[in-house]
Amino acid sequence: MSTNSAQAAPADGSREGAPAARQLRVILIAVSMALMAVIASVSGLNVAQTQMAVDFDTSHDTVLWIINIYTLALAALLLPLGAIGDRLGRKPMLIAGLAVFGVSNVVAALAPTAEVLIGARVASGIGAATIMPITLAVITSTFPEEQRGKAIGVWTGVAGGGGILGMFLSALLVDVADWRWLFALPIALIVVAMAMTLTSVPNSRERSGHAFDTIGALISIVAVAALIFCLQEGPERGWSATATLVSLAVGLLAAAGFVSWELRRRDASLLDVRLFRDRGLAGGSITLLVVFGVQSGIFVVLFPFLQAVVDWSALLSAAALMPMAVAMMMASGLAPRLAVRAGPRSTMSAGIVLTGVGLALMALLVSVDGGYLSILPGIVVMGFGMGLAMVPSTEAITLSLPREKQGVASALNDVTREFGTALGIAMLGAILTAGYRNAIDDRLDGMPEETAGPAREGIATALEAAGGAGSRAQDLVDAARQSYIDGWQQAMWAGVAVMAVLFVYIALRGPKNSVPAATSNEAEDTEVVAAR
């Protein structure tokens, strides 16, 4: 690798060309706003499924494609675009990603047909895949070591809590305006982030002596796209459906092919898979996979609870998640200091334990009569635990790869989150559905089949069927709500079991309780041009 380069210096001015403290704050705000726009777009359209189906006169499957195609494009392209950003320069890649993302959201807001909207969402996913890894790479390649942990904590808090805030603002916009206004928030964030990026964000890039790993990039796209498609479509189509099984087979074969190819490429690889022997990289990746899986799975089971059991509106249900977002962001700010004092493994372990305790509280305290207050303590504790676990995990991943590969490190961090999200939704959703159906079967004795049949499908159809159940209507409502609680508890205990296994793994194989020092040759690996 070529070494004709210079590194961004600390903000105290000890090196010529270093970003000043004020510029570092602007950089952090810029990348945080760009990240918020990407994260808010992941789940924002979920609250407008009915309105989109009516406006476009289209099927539920098409609406799901409008929602899921963004995540599919985002996840599949993260690793290749992160690597390209390392080579071409992170600032120009961030500007390009912001431009594509902003324009595609404008097109989406004005889309006359579902097909145009799907195309715009694909373009948005491409822009998001360009933005997301670059935001973290800008932090790790620009901030001095003593401030990097705090900046990563802010980034992680936005990545974790931004989705919750996005859901709340999306529900608010749908409630008071039209679903097309959902795109106004990311557009506004992108405009501000673009202005700050042009004036304050420095450029950094890799000086590589080998060709780009095009074959590895293409194989990674196939592997990630196929596996994410399988996890997204499995709950809808069925896990034994042909499309589900084919996508799973293609994904696994492509993943195996990617590993084999990258092992042969060695130093010229897109991602050196041998680095997963490193305790920090492996432990951080597994922790993020599990924590984001649990968080996303909780969202899937929580909204039906709030809307069907507690009988709240979509807006109020989204607002109910805000305590989790606040707790997560508070913990994300505390985690860097705690990691310095106690070590990253201890901090991750504490976060994992608290996340498991939060899940256990939601399993033990939840009740129909207790409503939202019965799960609030668990939500807060779990949010705080996730914030503690995510920050040192993210930093462990970025520290495991050299400075010139921070786009790849950031992309790997993001791909892990996306896989965790899809896996958690599929698994916890399936556990709750199975638990609900088993529980309600025992409560439908004597109920006519025309009423019992829809009730078995889910709590929403059960409450709808209660309207035609006559004198048994209240019995059916009570049975459906209590059955949902039973399924909920099974899903929570499954989450507790997963967190217990993760705790044992991190306690034995997590990153060492030490703060890695910056390597002495980092300045030789990265070219940084401060953009004043």
Q: CA separation (Å) from 254 to 211, 221, 224, 261, 302?
A: 22, 9, 8, 10, 34
Token pair belonging to 9: 């210096």
Distance, CA of 311 to CA of 308 (rounded, Å): 5
- What pLDDT, on a 0 to 100 scale, did the predictor assign at position 190? 93
Give the DSSP H/E element, type plus range, for residue 527.
Answer: strand 526-529
Which residues contact residue 413 at a Cβ distance below 8 angstroms, ignoring those fewer than 6 apart?
A: 133, 136, 284, 285, 288, 394, 397, 398
**Does residue 435 contact residue 301 with C-beta atoms inside 8 Å?**
no
Res. 223: pLDDT tops 90: yes
Res. 523: pLDDT tops 80: no
**Does residue 103 contact residue 110 with C-beta atoms inside 8 Å?**
no
pLDDT > 70: percent of the chain:
89
Mean pLDDT of 271-282: 80
- What pLDDT, on a 0 to 100 scale, did the predictor assign at position 469? 62
Tell me the pLDDT of the chain averaged across its residues: 82
Of 152, 154, 86, 178, residue with least CA distance to 393: 152
**Sign of the alpha-carbon torsion through 158, 163, 167, 173:** positive
Tally Cβ neighbours within 10 Å of residue 13.
Answer: 12
Task: Tell me which residue has tokens 């829809």.
Answer: 454
Phi, psi dihedral angles at 421 (to 5 degrees): -60, -50
| 74-86: pLDDT as tens digits | 889 988 998 888 8
Taken as a whole, the chain contains a residue count of 532
Of 499, 490, 496, residue with least CA distance to 429: 490
Distance, CA of 145 to CA of 415 (rounded, Å): 25
Between 272 and 515, whose confidence is greater?
272
| 409-457: pLDDT as tens digits | 888 888 888 888 888 888 888 888 888 888 887 777 766 776 677 777 7
Tally Cβ neighbours within 10 Å of residue 6.
Answer: 16
- What pLDDT, on a 0 to 100 scale, did the predictor assign at position 44? 72
Distance, CA of 298 to CA of 255 (rounded, Å): 28
**Does residue 455 contact residue 480 with C-beta atoms inside 8 Å?**
yes
The rounded radius of gyration (Å) of the Cα atoms in the chain is 23
Of 51, 60, 35, 130, residue with least CA distance to 90: 130
Tally Cβ neighbours within 10 Å of residue 210.
Answer: 10
β-sheet bridge partners, residue 527: 205
Q: Which three-class secondary structure string do you get for 299-325?
A: HHHHHHHHHHHCCCCHHHHHHCCHHHH
Res. 47: pLDDT tops 80: no
| 446-492: pLDDT as tens digits | 667 766 777 777 777 777 777 666 666 777 888 888 888 888 899 89
Strands (E), 171-220: 203-206
**Terminal-to-terminal C-alpha distance of the chain:** 28
- What pLDDT, on a 0 to 100 scale, did the predictor assign at position 247? 92
β-sheet bridge partners, residue 451: none
**pLDDT band, very low/low/confident/very high, at 511 (cuts 50, 70, 90):** confident
**pLDDT band, very low/low/confident/very high, at 522 (cuts 50, 70, 90):** very low
Mean pLDDT of 517-521: 39
Of 386, 394, 342, 325, residue with least CA distance to 153: 394
Candidate from 51-55, 97-101, 447-451 with smallest mean pLDDT: 447-451
Concatenate the DSSP letters of all residues of 270-298 into one string: SS-GGGGGSHHHHHHHHHHHHHHHHHHHH
Q: Which amino acid is at 34?
A: A
**Does residue 47 contact residue 183 with C-beta atoms inside 8 Å?**
no
